[in-house]
C-alpha cells in the first residue's frame, strides 16, 4: 500500500496538483488535511476519475477539513468530538485487512505560545491532551494503527531549520514538544518517517509562502507526520517527501509525504 498524507490547503484550488501527483506516484490511499470545502461541494467525481471510488470526508466551508480517499473499500469509524468541537480535524477508517488509519489536522495554535493570552494555543494543547488519553485507553500490543496528518508540531531539533531561533515560535516550543511526546507514548507510536531518515539529518515538510526561494533558503519545518504502532514496524518499506509538489505553481505550503507499506506482513 502506498499511503500519502498531504495538507492540501484547499482541495478545489489544487485539483491539477492532485492529478499530477496521482499520475506520478500512483498512491493507493490519500489522506488530506485542510480541504476547506463542505461535504456537498467536495469534488468527488474528480477523485472517482482518478481511481478513488472509496472515500470518507469531513469538511466545512473555508476552514479545516479532512478526507481519506482509497482505491479499496474502507469503513469509517466513530471518533470523539475533540474538546467538544465539531471542527473537522479527524477521520478514522479501517482498511479491508483490519489496519486502521487515523487522519489528523491538529490546530495550528496561533502566533503567541501562551495559553492565557492565546485561546488558540490553549485549544491546541487541550486537543493533544485528549488525543493522548483516547489512544492510551485503547492501547493493545497487536493494534495495527497508522496515524498521519498535519500535526502542526516539529518536535525534533532536526525537524526545524534553526532550533534556537524557533524555540519560542509556535510549532517548536518546549510545551508543544512535551505534549507530542505524550501523544507518542500514549500508544508506543513509532515515528515512521524517522525510521527512514534518522536524526540528526534534517527533514522538513513545510515551507512558508513568504520565502520565494524556499528551496535555496530551506527554512522548513516538519509539521507533517506518519506514525505506526509497533505491530506495523515490519511492514514499513519506503518513505519520500515530494518536494516537486511544493515547487509547482501556486502550491500548498506543505509537501506530500509518501509512505510505502507491505501490509501482508
Half-sphere exposure of 117 (CA within 13 A, CB side): 5
Q: What is the pLDDT of residues 113-154, one digit of tens each?
A: 999 999 999 999 999 999 999 999 999 999 999 999 999 999
Residue with cell 510545551: 175
* Distance, CA of 25 to CA of 20 (rounded, Å): 9
Q: For residue 223, what pLDDT is reported? A: 98
Mean per-residue pLDDT for 17-39?
A: 98
* Distance, CA of 32 to CA of 6 (rounded, Å): 5
Is pLDDT above 90 for 212?
no
Question: What is the reported pTM?
Answer: 0.98
Average pLDDT, the chain: 97
Mean per-residue pLDDT for 66-87?
A: 97
Residue with cell 507533517: 224
Is pLDDT above 90 for 77?
yes
Identify the structural domains of the chain with CATH numbers, from first to last.
2-261 (3.60.10.10)
Cell of 240: 519520500
Q: Is the dihedral of CA 224, 140, 97, 54 positive or negative?
A: negative
Q: For residue 92, what pLDDT is reported? A: 98
Q: For residue 153, what pLDDT is reported? A: 98
What residues have CB less than 8 Å from 264, skipping those under 6 apart?
A: none
Q: For residue 265, what pLDDT is reported? A: 81
Q: Is the dihedral of CA 166, 170, 172, 177 positive or negative?
A: positive
At residue 211 the predicted structure's pLDDT band, cuts being 50, 70 and 90, is confident
Amino acid at each position: 500500500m502506498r499511503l500519502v498524507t498531504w495538507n492540501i490547503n484547499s482541495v478545489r484550488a489544487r485539483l491539477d496538483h492532485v492529478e499530477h501527483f496521482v499520475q506520478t506516484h500512483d498512491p493507493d490511499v490519500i489522506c488530506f488535511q485542510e480541504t476547506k470545502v463542505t461535504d456537498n461541494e467536495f469534488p468527488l467525481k474528480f477523485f472517482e476519475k482518478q481511481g478513488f471510488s472509496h472515500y470518507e470526508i469531513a469538511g466545512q466551508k473555508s476552514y479545516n477539513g479532512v478526507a481519506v480517499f482509497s482505491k479499496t473499500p474502507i469503513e469509517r469509524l466513530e471518533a470523539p468530538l475533540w474538546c467538544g468541537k465539531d471542527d473537522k480535524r479527524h477521520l478514522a477508517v479501517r482498511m479491508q485487512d483490519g489496519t486502521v488509519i487515523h487522519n489528523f489536522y491538529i490546530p495550528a495554535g496561533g502566533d503567541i505560545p501562551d495559553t492565557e493570552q492565546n485561546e488558540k494555543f490553549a485549544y491546541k494543547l487541550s486537543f493533544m491532551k485528549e488525543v493522548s488519553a483516547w489512544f492510551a485507553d485503547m492501547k493493545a500490543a497487536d493494534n495495527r494503527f497508522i496515524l498521519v496528518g498535519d500535526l502542526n508540531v516539529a518536535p525534533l531539533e532536526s525537524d526545524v531549520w534553526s532550533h534556537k531561533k524557533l524555540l519560542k515560535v509556535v510549532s517548536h516550543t518546549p510545551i508543544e514538544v512535551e505534549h507530542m511526546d505524550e501523544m507518542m507514548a500514549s500508544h508506543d507510536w513509532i515515528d515512521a518517517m524517522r525510521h527512514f531518515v534518522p536524526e540528526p539529518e534534517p527533514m522538513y515538510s513545510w515551507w512558508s509562502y513568504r520565502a520565494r526561494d524556499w528551496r535555496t533558503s530551506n527554512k522548513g519545518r516538519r509539521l507533517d507526520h506518519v506514525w505506526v504502532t509497533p505491530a506495523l514496524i515490519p511492514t514499513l518499506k519506503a518513505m519520500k517527501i515530494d518536494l516537486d509538489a511544493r515547487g509547482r505553481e501556486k502550491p500548498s505550503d506543505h509537501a506530500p509525504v509518501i509512505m510505502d507499506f507491505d501490509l501482508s506482513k
